[in-house]
Amino acid sequence: MTEPAGSRGDTVDTRAVVDLLGVLAYAELTAFDRLAEDARLAPTLAGRAALARMAAAEIDHHTRLTARLVELGADPTTAMTPFVAALDAFHGSTRPRTWLEGLVKAYVGDGLAADFYREIAGFLPDPDRALILDVLADTGHADFAVREVRAAIAAHRTVAGRLALWGRRLVGEAITQSQAVIAERDELAQLIMEGTGDLAGIGRLIDRITDAHTERMRALGLNP
C-alpha cells in the first residue's frame, strides 16, 4: 500500500482487498473455462483459436491475481471460495447455446462485470488498483465479438431480436448475482458504501455502468 498518507486508500480494510482480488481471481478462472467451452462452438478453426487465445489471457490474469493474494498473506483458494457459488450460478443460468450467444455474453457480460470491478478498484490504493485495472483491460475480445456479431446480423437480420433479449437476460442475472455476493461480504459492501460516499453516489455508479452497457449493446447493433 504505497498511496500517499491521508488518501482514503490508507483506510481500506485488507479483507475488502482480499475479497475483491478473490472474486476477480475466480472470475478469471471461470472466464477461462467459458471461453474454452465457447471456442468449441466456433464455426471455423481460426475462430476457435482466437477464442482459445483469449482464454489463455484470462488464465494469465488469474495467475497474477493469485500471486498478489499470496503476497498479501492470503490463501488464494480461501479467498476465491466465497464467490464460487454465485459465479457458478451466473454461468449456469446463462449458458450460451450458440456461438453468437457466447460472443454476446463475453462482450456484454464481461464488459458489465469489468465496469463494476473497475469502479470498486477505484476505491483501492495501489498496487492493487493498478493490478486490477490492468487485468480488466480488454484482451482483444471486444473487437472480435463486435465484428462477428455485426457480420451475423448483417447476414440474418432476425438474429438481432433474439440476441437483444439474450443481452437483457445477461444483465438481469448479473444484477441478481452481484447483489447476492455483496449482501454476504460485509467488508466489500462497506468499501462500496464508503467509496461512493452516499446513496446518490451509488446511483451515479449504477448510471455509469448502465450507460456503458447501453453503449456496448449499440456497438453490437442490438437494442439495449
What residues make contact with a second copy under the rule CB under 8 A? 26, 29, 32-33, 36-37, 39-40, 44-46, 48-49, 52-53, 55-56, 59-60, 62-63, 66, 76-77, 80-81, 84
The alpha carbon torsion through 36, 23, 70, 81 (nearest 10 deg) reads -90
Give the shortest CB-26-to-a second copy separation in angstroms: 8
Cα distances (angstroms) measured from residue 189 to each of 19, 27, 66, 132, 156? 10, 18, 22, 18, 44
CA distance 22 to 17: 8
Give the shortest CB-17-to-a second copy separation in angstroms: 19
DSSP state of 105: I
Closest CA to 123 of 37, 195, 70, 176: 195
CA distance 213 to 224: 8
Give the shortest CB-90-to-a second copy separation in angstroms: 16
For a second copy, the closer CB: 39 or 217:
39
Give the shortest CB-162-to-a second copy separation in angstroms: 27
For a second copy, the closer CB: 34 or 129:
34
Locate 36 and state its grid cell: 474454452
Say what angle helices 159-184 and 76-93 make with each other, to 10 degrees.
140
Give the shortest CB-36-to-a second copy separation in angstroms: 3
For a second copy, the closer CB: 91 or 213:
91
For a second copy, the closer CB: 84 or 193:
84
Locate 128 and state its grid cell: 492493487
For a second copy, the closer CB: 3 or 88:
88
